[in-house]
Every structure is written in structure tokens, then in C-alpha cells.
């Protein structure tokens, strides 16, 4: 970091530059902490909070009626639980390394009274804080990599407004901390290659610091290994270009860093070995059907666009969603010629060309690694956007370098634009500074779309389901769900947490609300001695049975005088039915 700071000091600085950076940080902070507490909990956030508190999810009773207090017991803060329990339960039940969970344990300890259910807002606030810190971090990297404060300022503004950046910052997850490690590690990569180009040794202390950062990255998220692999491929590419000098002394410290980083990864190998076959990862198995095999490539492209800008595409009418998609695509086509011109100027510049080659190669190798994981290892990591954190900072830096050249040189799009647009009046041409303004405005629109929940909605809307239950039920409620892994426990807890959060504002007495997790049977037949059948026979009537992701035969329930409610129930990303038991 000292090298980055010294590089920034050598640039022409003034109070206005720091003022602009402060504006980006302020806007990014407001966006990340705006409505972040009101969004419903996602099951993976429940996982983060539960394990961070040192609890496990296997103590929740199965095949037994429980109250919301029992259901939410893994989210209750216990000041006597040591950090060792956080590591033990996490490594036993989950598929993640412990660093972020230990930090969250410390964070929750500061803000949560003993014995209270943890606040979702407090849990998310730590991720949001790391998301804010990424703004000055990418500013520093932009200045260091391209020796330009304009690139740094634009990269910081892009980070502040990035819809994707806000999305990952508003979840109680470890992605924003990993992004910080990636930004720092990229700075070391650039400095190392600069040393190679100058045939100088990378300072040993710098190499040791790089190893530490890489080890912290892999201890935060195992997918940081993809970052290290991409960096290794970039180094290999430069080694091939310098193959005659591969035995020179200035390569020695690079080899030491590579070996040290490998050791930092291998420490976690015993924990990683069983992940690919874990039931918790079966949902990302790649589909090789001809009508689906091409979809991961399209998804990676779409997630890449949302790192820059976005419009309302969820929670609106189909017409608005389609219109938003068309507008984003048209804007992308409109500005691309000028951006391409900006990259051509940057790659030809002695001061920026090397960094652009490094970051461009990193992005290319990262995408290839994603495709290898998807098609080679059979794990479709394109199914969700969050794994794009591996190359997210690089996308912003590459775009920032092009936008900086557009801003400084006022590159005219008409020199490179497609003939299709040659008759567009000058006012409507995407040229120079206009490109920068357009992208930032679109980024702000995307940021507001995420904040107001019109983009990057939770995969399961526990809040909507709870509202439906509250509206439709007049009798005591039993919410039943089939159990396979603790993923189902977390999904049911997300519903319970919503009722707990809104207990005082709903007309639904919590004492009339009960839950059951039923072990999954070989088939959906409801046998007379099955748990659900026994409970329904014992429960007082009237009773409203909400079958949420419950694999049970409708006809078997009717034999127990539980009849499917004839009302049309809204879609809320859960498979659910209401049965009135009378």
C-alpha cells in the first residue's frame, strides 16, 4: 500500500480532487445504507448470521411443531459463545472459510444485547462498510495503475454507483471484503510486472505482504482462488514473453510469492475437497441440455453489464422490464464505439498501456476460468450474479481507463462508429465527455433501482409470502416445509424472521403461528404414521396449513379434512399452497 500512496502523492493533487473523491464516498455510503435494512432476509444471509454467532442449524427440531422462538434460536446472540465455536460449526456444516464470519461475530458482539435476536441491519452494515471502503481503494488502484487521478476518480464514481456493487454490499455476506483483497492483490500484480519489465527484483517485503493478502483472500472466500489463478496465468503470459530471462534473479521473488500463495491455498484443501459433492452445492450443477448449454455465456454478459448500469427489471410489469432491457442494450451499442476508441488511446500510451494489458489479460483469463468451472467441472457459477466479484474491480478499472480518455481527449465517436449511425445528429452522438455523463447517469439509475428493490431482488421473497399468509389466514397457522439440508431450515427461518421483525405492526398474534420441518420421504405419499399426518390429527381445528416447498400429496391431505383454498394465491418465488383444515 505504501507504493500506491507514494504514487498518488507524485501525481498533481489538489483539494478539488479530494473533494470529488469525498463526493463519491458520500454518494456510495448513502446508496449502500439506504433501505438496506428493509429488504427481506435471504437464506444465505441467515447462514452468515447464524454461523457468525457461533450457532449451528442442526439443533432445530425436525418432525416436530415448533414456535418462532425455537425456529430463530440460531439467530439469538449468546455472549458466552467463543470464537472457536464459530470456526467449528462453520467448518462442520458449511462450505465457506471463517475469516468474515469471525469479523461478523466481533461486529455483532458490539451492537447486539445478550439474548436478543440479531438485527439484520447490523449484520448487513459490516458488508456495506467494506463496500464503502472499496471506493477509495479502487480510486487508489486507478491512480497507481494508470498514473492518472482522472482514471481514479472515474473508477471511484463507478464503484459508488455500481448496481452490482450496491447489491453485494447490501447483503450480510463476505463478497465486499473479498473485493477489497482483490483490489490490493491487483496492485501487487501490477507492481510485480513493472519490476519484471524493468528487470528489477520485487522487494521481498512487498512479496511477503502480497502473500499475506492472498492468504487473507482465500480465508475469506474460496473463489478468491480464481483470482489467484487468473493472476498466475497473467504472470505466466509475461513469463512466456520473457522466456529467455526466466532464470534471472528478478524472477526469483515472483516464484516465492507464487509458492507462498499456493501454500496459503493448500491449507484449506481438506475443507474444499468435499465441497463439489456437497448437497448445498447441487443447485449449481451445469445443465448440458442443448437448449440450456449456451445460457451461462449470456448470463455472464448480462451480469457484466449490471456492474456498470441497470434499469428497473424486477417488481414491475413485463412491458417495463422488456423496455428497460432494450434501453440498456441500445445505450451499450451507442457508447461502445467511443469506449473502444478510448481503449485504443490507452493501450498506445506508454504510461497506461502496460496496466491495460495486465488488467485486460486478467479479465480474459478470469472469464476462461469461469467457463472451465461451468463446462469442465460441471458447476454453473453463472446462475447467480454474486460470484462475479472475482473480476468486478477489473471491469470498473478497464471501463474507467477508457472513460478517462474520452473525457480528456473528447474522442469523437464518428471516427469509429458503425455506418448504421452515420446520419445521427451531433447532439445525439455519444462523444467525449457525453459518454462519461451518460454512463454515470445510467449507473445512478441502476443504483436507485437496486436500492428501491426494482433490481437484484432476493431469490425468495419471504416478506411477500408472510404478507400473503397474514392476509389470507383467519385461523391459527401451521407453516410446514420439507427438510433435506439446512438450506430448508434457513429458508423457513427467513419467513419466521419477517414475522418477528414485523410482530408489532401485524394483526397476526405470534402465539397462533407455528412451524414444522418434515423430513423428506421417498415419495410424497402421506402415510398414516407420517409426522405430518399425526400432527394434523392432533391439532385443534380450525387450522390453516401453509405447505411451503412441502412435498405432499393433495389427496392425502383431503383425507385428513384439509382442503386446498380455492383463492388464487400470488407468485412469491416459493412453491406454496394453503389448506384449510376444518
Model confidence pLDDT, tens digit, residues 153-184: 999 999 999 999 999 999 999 999 999 999 99
Instruction: Look at residue 273 in the predicted model and tell me its pLDDT.
Output: 73
The predicted model scores a pTM of 0.91
Better pLDDT: 220 or 16: 220
Residue pair 96/90 in contact by the 8 Å Cβ criterion: yes
Query: Measured between alpha carbons, how far is 577 from 550 in angstroms, rounded to an integer?
Result: 9
Of the candidates 488, 470, 397, which has an alpha carbon nearest to the alpha carbon of residue 190? 397
Instruction: Look at residue 537 in the predicted model and tell me its pLDDT.
Output: 86
Say whether the peptide bond before residue 76 is cis (omega within 30 degrees of 0). Answer: no
Domain ranges across the chain: 2-35+126-451, 462-581
Give the DSSP per-residue string, 185-246.
Answer: HHHHHHHHHHHHHTT-PPPHHHHHHHHHHHHHHHHH-TTHHHHHHHHHHHHHHHHHHTGGGT
CA atoms within 13 A on the CB side of 105: 23
How many of the other CB atoms lie within 10 Å of CB of 457? 18
**pLDDT tier at 280 (50, 70, 90 boundaries)?**
low
Better pLDDT: 433 or 1: 433
Give the pLDDT mean for 290-309.
Answer: 92
Model confidence pLDDT, tens digit, residues 107-136: 999 999 998 999 999 999 999 999 999 999
Model confidence pLDDT, tens digit, residues 466-480: 888 888 888 899 999
488 Cβ contact partners less than 8 Å away, ≥ 6 residues apart: 481, 482, 517, 549
**pLDDT tier at 391 (50, 70, 90 boundaries)?**
very high
Instruction: Look at residue 415 in the predicted model and tell me its pLDDT.
Output: 47
Model confidence pLDDT, tens digit, residues 489-531: 888 999 888 888 766 565 555 667 899 998 766 655 666 657 7
Amino acid at each position: 500500500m505504501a507504493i500506491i500512496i507514494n504514487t498518488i502523492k507524485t501525481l498533481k493533487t489538489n483539494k478539488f480532487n479530494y473533494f470529488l473523491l469525498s463526493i463519491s464516498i458520500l454518494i456510495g455510503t448513502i446508496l449502500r445504507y439506504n433501505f438496506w435494512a428493509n429488504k427481506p432476509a435471504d437464506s444465505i444471509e441467515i447462514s452468515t448470521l447464524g454461523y457468525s454467532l457461533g450457532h449451528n442449524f442442526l439443533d432445530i427440531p425436525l418432525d416436530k411443531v415448533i414456535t418462532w422462538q425455537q425456529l430463530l434460536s440460531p439467530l439469538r446472540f449468546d455472549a458466552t459463545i467463543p470464537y472457536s465455536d464459530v470456526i467449528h460449526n462453520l467448518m462442520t456444516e458449511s462450505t465457506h472459510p471463517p475469516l468474515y464470519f469471525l469479523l461478523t461475530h466481533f461486529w455483532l458482539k458490539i451492537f447486539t444485547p445478550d439474548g436478543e435476536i440479531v438485527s439484520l441491519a447490523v449484520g448487513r452494515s459490516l458488508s456495506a462498510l467494506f463496500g464503502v471502503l472499496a471506493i477509495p481503494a479502487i480510486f487508489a488502484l486507478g491512480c497507481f495503475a494508470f498514473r492518472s487521478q482522472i482514471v481514479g476518480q472515474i473508477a471511484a464514481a463507478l464503484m459508488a454507483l455500481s448496481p452490482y456493487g450496491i447489491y453485494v454490499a447490501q447483503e450480510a455476506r463476505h463478497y465486499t471484503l473479498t473485493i477489497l483483497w482483490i483490489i490490493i492483490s491487483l496492485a501487487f500484480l501490477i507492481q510485480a510486472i513493472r519490476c519484471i519489465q524493468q528487470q528489477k527484483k520485487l522487494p521481498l517485503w512487498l512479496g511477503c505482504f502480497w502473500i499475506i493478502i492472498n492468504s487473507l483472500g482465500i480465508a475469506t472466500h474460496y473463489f478468491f482462488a480464481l483470482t489467484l489463478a487468473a493472476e498466475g496465468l497473467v504472470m505466466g503470459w509475461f513469463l512466456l514473453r520473457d522466456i529467455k530471462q526466466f532464470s534471472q534473479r528478478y524472477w526469483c521473488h515472483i516464484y516465492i510469492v507464487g509458492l507462498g500463495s499456493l501454500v496459503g491455498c493448500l491449507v484449506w484443501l481438506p475443507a474444499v475437497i468435499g465441497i463439489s459433492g456437497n448437497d448445498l452445492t447441487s443447485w449449481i450443477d451445469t445443465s448440458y441440455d442443448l437448449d440450456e448449454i449456451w445460457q451461462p455465456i449470456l448470463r455472464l454478459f448480462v451480469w457484466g453489464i449490471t456492474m456498470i448500469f441497470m434499469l428497473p427489471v424486477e417488481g414491475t410489469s413485463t412491458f417495463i422490464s422488456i423496455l428497460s432491457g432494450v434501453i440498456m442494450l441500445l445505450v451499450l451499442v451507442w457508447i461502445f464505439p467511443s469506449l473502444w476508441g478510448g481503449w485504443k488511446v490507452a493501450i498506445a500510451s506508454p504510461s497506461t498501456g502496460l496496466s491495460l494489458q495486465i488488467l485486460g489479460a486478467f479479465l480474459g483469463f478470469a472469464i476462461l476460468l469461469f467457463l472451465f468451472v461451468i463446462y469442465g467441472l460441471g458447476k454453473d457459477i453463472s446462475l447467480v450474479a454474486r460470484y462475479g466479484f472475482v473480476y468486478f474491480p477489473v471491469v470498473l478499472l478497464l471501463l474507467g481507463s477508457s472513460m478517462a480518455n474520452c473525457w480528456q481527449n473528447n474522442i469523437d465517436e464518428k471516427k469509429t462508429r458503425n455506418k448504421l449511425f452515420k446520419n445521427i445528429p451531433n447532439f445525439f452522438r455519444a462523444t467525449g465527455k457525453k459518454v462519461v455523463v451518460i454512463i454515470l447517469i445510467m449507473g445512478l439509475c441502476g443504483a436507485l433501482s437496486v436500492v428501491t428493490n426494482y433490481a437484484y431482488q432476493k431469490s425468495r421473497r419471504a416478506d411477500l409470502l408472510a404478507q400473503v399468509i397474514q392476509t389470507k389466514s383467519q385461523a391459527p397457522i401451521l407453516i410446514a416445509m420439507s427438510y433435506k439440508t439446512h438450506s430448508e431450515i434457513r429458508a423457513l427461518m427467513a419467513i419466521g424472521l419477517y414475522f418477528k421483525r414485523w410482530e408489532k405492526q401485524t394483526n397476526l398474534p405470534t402465539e397462533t403461528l407455528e412451524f414444522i420441518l418434515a423430513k423428506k420421504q421417498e415419495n410424497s405419499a402421506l402415510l398414516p404414521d407420517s409426522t405430518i399426518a399425526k400432527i394434523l390429527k392432533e391439532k385443534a381445528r380450525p387450522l390453516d396449513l401453509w405447505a411451503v416447498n412441502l412435498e405432499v400429496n393433495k389427496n392425502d391431505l383431503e383425507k385428513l379434512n384439509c382442503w386446498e383454498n380455492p383463492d388464487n394465491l400470488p407468485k412469491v418465488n416459493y412453491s406454496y399452497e394453503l389448506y384449510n383444515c376444518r
